[in-house]
């Protein structure tokens, strides 16, 4: 049988890893796919660097459109990133009747509804396992393995760079900027690393998972985003003293009023498995009504782990090439005409427990005023500790609340900050138990 010709666009971290895996495991891969899969043509801005990665036999070009237009290419693999050039290339590949494999979560989270619609019209596949949680086969699990379930919630550590930074800061006391540079050197970070540390990348991945889990269109624009760049080391330490780890969490949950879709740092009890996911590792918890909670763990970034998912998609697409398009797994798991427009809840309407750190004058009555304001907003306290007074006779009060709507916490924080005896802003972090 004729080999499957791969056209690779972008030979950087993931593209280089993909070339390596295709070469290293060529025999195993063709035994699984039922035919030879060969890297036929590759495009990269830096041709010399790409030549090192792909070896002497692959045609190299610097214009990726040549890959998309090449009549011999069966599957286009987009590993350039971003949503400008990559979008034109992917749409042109689809228009040319080529199947697409991509690791580009931004492209899909922002333009996926349009891209999947075009692919559907043309009867081609767009596969994107590498776009969410790197090498972990979470798209496969959500789309196929859990298809009997009504999925209730997904909670994940889905940005390797942020998790690597938080881990190194906690374990080694390293500085934020030093660890970020290390994550960039290791190839984990996005071209613009603010996407990692401000929660955008996790939001892209979460929006994709929510669509597949609940059968809704992708709605990244409605995803609440809060990153780790403003986290104070004190809160990481206090959380630890109280038995929690701080993680950048992506959480989406079905409620009777709509879908929660949020990315933010969260305190997680250290006894929970997900609190112990460290470094570049990712983990995704999925709760289905029939199966209960399930957990998926593995490397969320890096050349070879991500290439593992890219190549698995290439094998999947190869196996399904001759299948009737009607018989393929739908891009978003649900049949395209069955997507529901469930509302995404504004962040004020979500329910969570909270960690509050309040700077206050160390004098009689302060605590009573704070607890009164919490009670007036219907917030009950689970734990309260006062951190030692300092020489300027101010103290820090740390309060853990029971579950409450965020708007009530916001109202209480506003009132607390207005107290004369309270100094500066109240620090507020959400706490997640992940077991209901
Ligand atoms: N690095 C990871 O661990 C990882 C993991 C999962 C997904 N991703 C995603 O994979 C994609 C690639 O990421 P990466 O880390 O490999 O990036 P990278 O910057 O290492 O590689 C991108 C490559 O594309 C080339 N390129 C840029 N514009 C081009 C153009 N117009 N034509 C041809 N080549 C062009 C660059 O020269 C570079 O070699 C991104 O969408 C990223 O979000 C990365
Ligand atoms: N920059 C991303 C790459 C994997 O998607 C991360 O750190 O998780
Ligand atoms: Na994946």
386 and 288 assigned to the same domain = no
55 and 120 assigned to the same domain = yes
118 and 21 assigned to the same domain = yes
Ligand 3 centroid, distance to 132 Cα (angstroms): 4
283 and 318 assigned to the same domain = no
Q: Which atom of ligand 1 is nearest to the CA of 131?
A: 7
Q: Which atom of ligand 2 is nearest to the CA of 130?
A: 5
Domain-located, residue 344: no
CA nearest neighbour of 248 among 304, 210, 205: 205
Domain-located, residue 346: no
SS3 per-residue string spanning the chain = CCCEEEEEECCCHHHHHHHHHHHHCHHHHHHHHCCCEEEEEEECCCHHHHHHHHCCCCEEECCCHHHHHCCCCCEEEECCCCCCHHHHHHHHHHHCCCEEEECCHHHHHHHHHHHHHHHHHHCCCEECHHHCCCCCCHHHHHHHHCCCCCEEEEEEECCHHHHHHHHHHHHHCCCHHHHHHHHHHCCCCCCCCHHHHCCHHHHHHHHHHHHHHHCCCCCHHHCEECCCCCCCHHHHHHHHHCCEEEEEEEEEEEECCEEEEEEEEEEEECCCHHHHCCCCEEEEEEEECCCEEEEEEEECCCHHHHHHHHHHHHHHHHHHCCCCHHHCCCCCCCCHHHCCCCCECCHHHCEEEEEEEEEEECCCCHHHHHHHHHHHCCCCEEEEEEECCCCCCEEEEEEEECCEEHHHHHHHHHHHHCCCCEEEEEEEEEECCCCC
Ranges of the chain with pLDDT below 70: 388-392, 436
pLDDT the model gives residue 364: 82
Residue to substitute in 13, 82, 159 for testing ligand 2 pocket (most ligand atoms within 8 angstroms of CB):
159
Domain-located, residue 334: yes
Bridge partners for 427 per DSSP? 357
Ligand 2 site residues, Cβ closer than 6 angstroms = 134, 159-161, 188-190, 196, 201, 300-301
Residue nearest to atom 39 of ligand 1 (CA): 12
Considering the entire predicted model, what is its pTM?
Answer: 0.97
Residues marked active site are found at 205
66 and 160 assigned to the same domain = no
Q: Is 306 in the pocket of ligand 1 (CB under 6 A)?
A: yes
54 and 180 assigned to the same domain = no
> Domain containing 244 — which CATH number?
3.30.360.10
Total number of domains constituting the chain: 3
289 and 144 assigned to the same domain = yes
pLDDT the model gives residue 392: 65
Domain-located, residue 143: yes
Residue nearest to atom 4 of ligand 2 (CA): 301
CB 54 within 8 A of CB 31: no
CA nearest neighbour of 204 among 103, 90, 276: 103
Kindly identify the ligand whose nearest atom is closest to the C-alpha of 304: 1
CA nearest neighbour of 428 among 405, 404, 400: 400
269 and 324 assigned to the same domain = no
40 and 177 assigned to the same domain = no
Ligand 1 centroid, distance to 44 Cα (angstroms): 9
pLDDT the model gives residue 436: 66
Ligand 1 centroid, distance to 79 Cα (angstroms): 5
pLDDT the model gives residue 391: 57
Q: Which atom of ligand 2 is nearest to the CA of 190?
A: 1
Domain-located, residue 115: yes
CA nearest neighbour of 317 among 161, 172, 130: 130
Domain-located, residue 343: no
* CB-based neighbours (< 5 A) of ligand 3, an ion: 129, 132-133, 136, 138, 309
Ligand 1 centroid, distance to 127 Cα (angstroms): 17
Kindly identify the ligand whose nearest atom is closest to the C-alpha of 160: 2
231 and 209 assigned to the same domain = yes
**Full domain range(s) for residue 30:** 4-136+304-338
381 and 397 assigned to the same domain = yes
> Domain containing 117 — which CATH number?
3.40.50.720
Ligand 2 centroid, distance to 425 Cα (angstroms): 32
CB 193 within 8 A of CB 179: no
Q: Which atom of ligand 1 is nearest to the CA of 303?
A: 3
163 and 288 assigned to the same domain = yes
Domain-located, residue 217: yes
């Amino acid at each position: 049988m004729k080999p499957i010709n791969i056209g690779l666009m972008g030979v950087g971290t993931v593209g280089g890893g993909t070339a390596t895996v295709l070469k290293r495991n060529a025999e195993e891969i063709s035994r699984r796919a039922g035919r030879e899969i060969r890297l036929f043509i590759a495009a990269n801005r830096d041709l010399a660097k790409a030549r090192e990665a792909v070896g002497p036999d692959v045609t190299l070009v610097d214009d990726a459109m040549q890959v998309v237009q090449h009549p011999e290419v069966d599957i286009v693999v987009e590993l350039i990133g971003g949503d400008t050039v990559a979008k034109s290339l992917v749409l042109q590949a689809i228009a040319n009747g080529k199947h697409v494999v991509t690791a580009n979560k931004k492209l899909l989270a922002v333009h996926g509804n349009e891209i999947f619609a075009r692919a559907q019209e043309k009867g081609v596949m767009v596969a994107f396992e590498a776009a969410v949680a790197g090498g972990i086969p979470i798209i496969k699990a959500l789309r196929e393995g859990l298809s009997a379930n009504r999925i209730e919630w997904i909670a994940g550590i889905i940005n390797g760079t942020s998790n690597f930074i938080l881990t190194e800061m906690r374990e080694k006391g390293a500085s934020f900027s030093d660890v970020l540079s290390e994550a960039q050197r290791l190839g984990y970070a996005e071209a613009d690393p603010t996407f990692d540390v401000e929660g955008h990348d996790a939001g892209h991945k979460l929006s994709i998972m929510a669509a597949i889990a609940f059968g809704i269109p992708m709605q990244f624009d409605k995803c609440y985003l809060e990153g780790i760049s403003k986290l104070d080391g004190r809160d990481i330490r206090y959380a630890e003293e109280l038995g929690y780890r701080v993680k950048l969490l992506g959480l989406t949950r079905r409620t009777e009023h709509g879908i929660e879709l949020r990315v933010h740092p969260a305190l997680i009890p250290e006894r929970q498995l997900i609190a112990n996911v460290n470094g570049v590792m990712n983990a995704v918890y999925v709760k289905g009504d029939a199966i209960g909670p399930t957990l998926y763990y593995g490397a969320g970034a890096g050349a070879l782990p991500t290439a593992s998912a890219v190549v698995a998609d290439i094998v999947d697409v190869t196996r399904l090439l001759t299948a009737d398009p009607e018989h393929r797994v739908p891009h978003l798991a649900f049949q395209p005409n069955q997507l529901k427009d469930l509302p995404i809840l504004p962040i004020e309407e979500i329910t969570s427990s909270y960690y509050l750190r309040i700077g206050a004058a160390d004098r009689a009555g302060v605590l009573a005023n704070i607890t009164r304001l919490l009670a007036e907003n219907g917030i009950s306290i689970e734990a309260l500790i006062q951190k030692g007074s300092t020489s300027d006779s101010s103290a820090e009060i740390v309060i853990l609340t029971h579950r409450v709507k965020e708007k009530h916490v916001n109202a209480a924080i506003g009132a607390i900050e207005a107290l004369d005896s309270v100094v500066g802003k109240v620090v507020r972090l959400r706490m997640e138990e992940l077991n209901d």
